[in-house]
Structure 1
Amino acid sequence: MRNIKLTIEYDGKRYLGWQRLGDSDKTIQGKIEAIITQMTGEKIEIIGSGRTDAGTHARGQVANFKTNTTLSREEILDFMNRYLPQDIVVKKVEEMPERFHARYNCIGKQYSYYIWNNPIPSAFERHRSFHVPQELDIDKMNLACEKLLGKHDFMGFSALKKTKKSTVRTIEELSIQREGSLLHVTFVGDGFLHKMVRIITGTLVEIGAGKMEIDEIDAIFESKVRQHAGETVPAQGLFLDEVFYK
């Protein structure tokens, strides 16, 4: 039995997210599984490094699947990119040890979030960024980023309800760069809770707009109450850039 690792790029605009849904064929996982099943003649289930929400994009999602196919890695790559929709692309196919697991072996991820910060919206960036017309104080936002670095309980920055699992995560890098009218927010960490990147970004936007103060971040960590943080920014500005493994 072979264990195949896929590195996948997708435009999430017209999909309901990564995870397969029984009543819809509009998921990334569902589309990929259907093509691999067609290719191998086997009933295939793929394991992703994690879920992405409806509308979220990926440059480097990772998944693996087990198969008995004798097709080469090049043949698998060619077949999948020939028959997948054009907004889903397999960038790399690798042969992995039997015990490799795309989710359990993951040690970290990098995300990007894009904000179109201009009074005038963009016709081209509307599906790949969040439009914020008011001027944002980038220096103040970057100071706020420093408070979010390190190991913290991020329950207050997540959409989770009560959970028995740990909500402690470590953010190793969080910074904002301006590229013309586009603000690029970079997140690197050992893991992210449900909607955590989007809620942190929303909090940073409110700080940059003068609606929240930097010190309120400490209060959110202490209270662990979601309502104390900023808004959840839209999914279309979010990209999963890379998944890290040992």
Structure 2
Amino acid sequence: MAAEILDGRAVSAKILDLVTKDVADLGRKPVLATVLVGDDPASRTYVRMKAGRCAKVGMESRRIELPGQTTTAELVARIRELSDDPSVDGILLQHPVPHQIDERAAFEAIAPEKDVDGVTRTSFAMMAFDEGGFASATPGGIMALLDAYEIPLSGKHAVVVGRSPILGKPAGLLLLARDATVTYCHSRTTDLPARVAEADILVAAVGRPALIRGNWIKRGAVVIDAGYADNTGDVEYEAAAERASFITPVPGGVGPMTIAVLLAQTARAARQKK
């Protein structure tokens, strides 16, 4: 039996409807500053999409574009200016940045109260301790998608393939907070197919097309594919869909949820500042 699709587009549309109402009640336009360094075509597309979504929910998207040769010091200084700007509610540094930049240093220049993408150490710690910080946007979107389909998490074995500090690691912590038992896998995991086969809930977050073969999937598992490269996810989709109970498409699954959570958290940041 083919898996049911976890439709991120439909769920994100409902979230954005709520954000639109929240923004209207706020009485002013929240401002999301997006910082783009260089000319990466995919990054430009993502920033343009986020600007379009901002307009639809009544937010202002303020674009800051910096040349590809920008240094870490220059980027950090610009982000600190935005952090100090009272008119800015949220800051997004588009990932990835050029190779010469210390991305972690740039992330840490974002004021925690404006870290609506959940990339700073402060946000990570607050999320881990359930102290009300901003969740990393993609893991937060994954959790919202699971909740929308009322997928039980307590007691389930969740396997996260990937250990990025803004995707794999926070996804595992959010699942752990919901009483799932979490296993992290990565490039040095021994016998990855066996670990994947144990998963009741699989989160693929590597960015390597079709890394995870469909016949590795446990029958009835929930498959969340957060990978994206060349318009393809980390999971061999067709074969996995024959075994899973639920599965996210790529595109149209996790991606729209990331943007929805980003804007929801921007609205929350504006509300908290009011």
- After TM superposition, is the score higher than 0.5? no
Between Structure 1 and Structure 2, which shows a larger proportion of helix residues? 2
What TM-score results when the alignment is normalised by the length of structure 1? 0.29
User: Structure 1 or 2: larger strand share?
Assistant: 1
Bigger-Rg structure (1/2): 1
